[in-house]
Every structure is written in C-alpha cells, then in structure tokens.
C-alpha cells in the first residue's frame, strides 16, 4: 500500500474510533500497532523493538517530571481559597463599571491561570464563584456563560500550562523548550485577556442591560483605601507564587522542573496560610495528581507510538509534499494547518490534537521557514479554542456542571461564539506581530 493511502487510512481509522468513544491513549496505541504491522509485514518483534526504543527515549525526558508537580500545585491551590478572596474584593472594586463583574472574572481568571495549568479547576472555580452573582445582578445568560468559559480557558495557555509542558516534552527541541514556551506564552495570554476585557466593557457600555453595574450602596460598602489595601493583600500571594514559578525560570535561577517543585511548595504554603490543609485534602490532592499524571503519561505513550509508525511509513513526507511540495503560498499552508486544528478541536481532545499534529506540522513549519517558537504558540492558542468550540468543548461542559439551573446548554453555546472570534483575532494579531511571542524569550534566554 502506498504511503498516501496508508496516511489517509490511518487518520480515518483514528477519527472513527475516537467518534465511537474509545479511550484516546489506547486508540492511538491500537491504530499505531495495526498500521505498524501492516507496514512492516507483520514483523511483531521489529515493531515492538521500535516502540520500546522510542518510548524509552521519551521517558528519559527530565522535563516531564514537571507534569505531576504542576498538577499537584493546581490541586493544592484549588483548596487555598486564593481565587475566592480576590474575586470578593474585585467584585466591589470593579462592580460599578458597566460589565464590572465580568471584568472582575477576567482579572481573577488571568491571575488564577498564572498559578494553575488545568482548565477544569479554573472554569469550575469561576463558575461556582461568579455564576450566581452574575445571574443575580441581571447579566445576560449568554454573556455570563461566555465570560466564565473563555476566561477559564486562559489556564491552558498562560504558564504554568500543562499543555506547554507536554508540547516541550514532545518536541525535545531547544528552540521550543518549556522555559521558552512559558516565556513566549505570557504576552499572548495577556493579549487574549485584554481582548476579553475590551469586548466586555465595550458591549456592556453600549448595551448596559447585558452587564449591569452593582448599586452605589453596595459599592460604597468599603472605602477606597480599604478596597486598595485588600486588593493588594489578596493579590500579593498569587503574584508571589507566579514569581516562584515563572520568574525563577525567566531570570535563570531554576529549570521548569525545579520551578514546578517550588510552585507545589508555594501552593502548599498558601493553603496552610488559609488553614485549608487537612489530611483529607492532602490525600485527595495526591490521589488526583496520580490519576491525572497516569492519564497524561499514557497519552504520551500512545501518541509516541502513533507518531513513530506514522513517520516510519512515510506519512510525514506525504504531508510535507502536500503543503510544501505543492508550491502553495506558505501563508496559505499556515492557514490550512490552523484550519485543520480548529476543526479537530470541535470533536477531539487537545491532547490528541497535540500528540498527532506536532510531529507532523512542526517539520513542515520549519521547511516553510517559520520560527519554531512562534509557530508553536500559534498552535497552542489555536488548541485553546478546542475548549470552547461546540459541540464538544470541555469548558462548556465544565461550566454547565456547576452553573445555576437557569443556564441551559444553548445559552452557553451562544455565549462562547463572540469569544471564539476574539481568540481567532488573537491568532491574527500574533501572526501580524510575531515579536509578541519572540521578544520575551529572546530577552530571557538570548
């Protein structure tokens, strides 16, 4: 069978099995085994040897140690009540503005995103904290849904992001090391948060019924000096944790793995300071960390098996010839790759997209002359849309699970559409101004 037919058959089989609901890790491994046997003439020892060599090389990657540490940090931070206290203060500080509560959600979500790399924690926390107040203050349900879901997804992009750790572990390239990915994601994350902020303020100013402000009596509950003092008090702990993780990487004091360890320690200290640490909390956090880590590592194994077989049978050359050898404009090739990822994000989990597309698209991007770090960030921002794209965006279901009963799935679907447009606008901004990605890594790492 020709490489072209094998490539098409392999992807069709993968998509069909995923649509049937089979577990991602085992689907990747099973498809790889099937087509690997077909490609090498059913030489089972040879295929197993190829798998074991590649998986062993992957597991020797020291940066993967950061994954359980960042997950543990997120689990502990989720119980430290940092986000709750910060939202309560910003509720009164920004509440008098049109759309002020929505703006508070964006600010808290951005800070929370910089302390935890797991979207589920961000969306659920903000859904529980902000869902009832937004509804009680008369916010349009679609607007409230979009604000919470979109702001919560910032956690997958703004470091410390598990997605960036996985990406860095997959490539193993110095150009896309985890430290450079962390540095490169900071400004894009701020750009997206800024777009959300501007959109909410503008729409609610034009049509105040979408996001009414709180009453003057409620806003005057505390004096200006007290609001400022409490804002600084509750903002400093997460900012300190951000510096422990991101700051130490950027100034060259710690590697990403070491920074992850300090982040986990810092989250434990914050939880202790808020008297939120019990034996049960430690036990639950540890068990969840083990479960999520096992899931991620199984995905790594399945993805490595898939990419190994795909490359060995010539699939990489097929894609390269299609996008590079065809002679189409390189910007059209970039748009085509982004479109594929966007469509895949409607139906497939981000981990599957990352594990399948990175080994295929990154060599093509290099062949087209694109900066590796810049292209990596475009992929990561596009992957963020997978959490918002109906029908299977995870953030939509996370929020629906904790939203007040007045919210329906239709409210949530309609609410995220404008924010999807803002994310695509963010990608366009990064394409037009690549220094937003490359400036900080070049400043920190040379």
What DSSP string describes 62-118?
Answer: GGGGHHHHHHHHHHHHHTTTHHHHHHHHHHHHHTTSTTHHHHHHHHHHHHHHTT---
Cα separation, 297 vs 438, whole angstroms:
29
Cα separation, 329 vs 332, whole angstroms:
5
> What single-letter DSSP state applies at residue 321?
I
pLDDT at 408: 85
pLDDT at 320: 72
**Residue closest to 122 by CA, chosen among 87, 154, 159, 85:** 154
pLDDT at 326: 64
pLDDT at 193: 94
> Using an 8 Å Cβ cutoff, are 52 and 45 in contact?
no
- Radius of gyration of the CA atoms of the chain, in A: 22
Please report where in the chains the tokens 């049509």 appear, as a residue: 207
Q: Widest CA span of the chain, in angstroms?
A: 77
Cα separation, 420 vs 427, whole angstroms:
11
pLDDT at 108: 86
* Average pLDDT of the chain, as a whole number: 84
pLDDT at 134: 84
Task: Dump pLDDT digits (tens) for 316-349.
Answer: 777 777 776 666 788 998 998 999 889 888 877 7
| Global confidence as pTM | 0.84
Return the domain boundaries, the chain.
Answer: 63-277+313-445
pLDDT at 429: 96
pLDDT at 185: 92
Residues 6+ apart with CB under 8 A from 289: 68, 71, 72, 75
The secondary element (H helix, E strand) that includes residue 83 is helix 82-94
First to last CA, the chain: 47
Cα separation, 118 vs 264, whole angstroms:
14
Cα separation, 265 vs 363, whole angstroms:
38
pLDDT at 1: 65
Mean pLDDT per 10-residue interval, the chain, length 446 residues = 80 81 83 88 86 80 80 78 76 80 88 75 79 85 91 86 84 83 92 94 90 74 75 81 84 84 87 82 86 83 84 76 73 90 81 82 88 93 87 80 82 91 95 94 84
pLDDT at 242: 83
The secondary element (H helix, E strand) that includes residue 270 is helix 256-273
């Amino acid at each position: 069978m020709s490489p072209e037919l094998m490539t098409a058959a392999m992807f069709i089989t993968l998509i069909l099995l995923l649509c049937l609901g089979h577990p991602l890790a085992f689907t990747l491994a099973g498809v790889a085994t099937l087509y690997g046997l077909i490609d090498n003439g059913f030489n089972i020892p040879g295929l197993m040897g190829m798998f074991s060599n590649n998986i062993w090389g992957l597991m020797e990657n020291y940066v993967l140690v950061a994954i359980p540490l960042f997950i543990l940090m997120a689990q502990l931070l989720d119980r430290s009540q940092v986000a709750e206290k910060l939202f309560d203060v910003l509720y009164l500080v920004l509440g008098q503005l049109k759309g002020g509560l929505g703006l508070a959600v964006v600010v808290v979500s951005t800070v929370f995103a910089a302390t935890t790399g797991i979207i589920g924690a961000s969306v659920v926390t903000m859904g529980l904290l902000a869902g009832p107040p937004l509804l009680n203050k008369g916010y349009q349900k679609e607007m409230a849904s979009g604000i919470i879901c979109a702001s919560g997804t910032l956690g997958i992009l703004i470091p410390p992001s598990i997605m960036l750790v996985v990406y860095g572990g997959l490539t193993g390239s110095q150009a896309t090391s985890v430290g450079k990915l962390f540095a490169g994601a900071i400004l894009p994350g701020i750009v997206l948060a800024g777009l959300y902020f501007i959109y909410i303020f503008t729409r609610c100013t034009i049509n105040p019924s979408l996001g009414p402000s709180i009453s003057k009596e409620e806003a005057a509950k505390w004096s200006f000096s007290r609001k400022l003092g409490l804002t600084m008090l509750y903002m400093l702990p997460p900012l300190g944790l951000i510096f422990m993780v991101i700051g130490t990487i950027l100034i060259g004091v710690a590697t990403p793995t070491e920074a992850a360890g300090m982040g986990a320690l810092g989250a434990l200290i914050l939880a202790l300071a808020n008297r939120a640490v019990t034996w049960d909390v430690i036990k639950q956090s540890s068990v969840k960390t083990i479960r999520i880590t096992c899931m991620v590592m199984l995905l790594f194994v399945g993805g490595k098996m898939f990419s190994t077989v795909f490359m060995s049978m010539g699939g990489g050359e097929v894609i390269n010839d299609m996008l590079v050898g065809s002679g189409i404009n390189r910007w059209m090739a970039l748009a085509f790759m982004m479109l594929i990822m966007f469509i895949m994000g409607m139906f497939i989990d981000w981990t599957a997209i990352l594990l399948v597309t990175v080994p295929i698209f990154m060599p093509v991007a290099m062949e087209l002359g694109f900066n590796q770090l810049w292209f990596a960030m475009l992929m990561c921002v596009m992957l963020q849309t997978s959490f918002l794209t109906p029908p299977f965006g995870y953030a939509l279901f996370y929020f629906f699970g904790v939203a007040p009963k007045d919210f329906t799935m239709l409210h949530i679907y309609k609410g995220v559409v404008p924010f999807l447009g803002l994310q695509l606008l963010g990608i366009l901004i990064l394409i037009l101004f690549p220094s937003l990605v490359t400036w900080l890594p070049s400043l920190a790492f040379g």
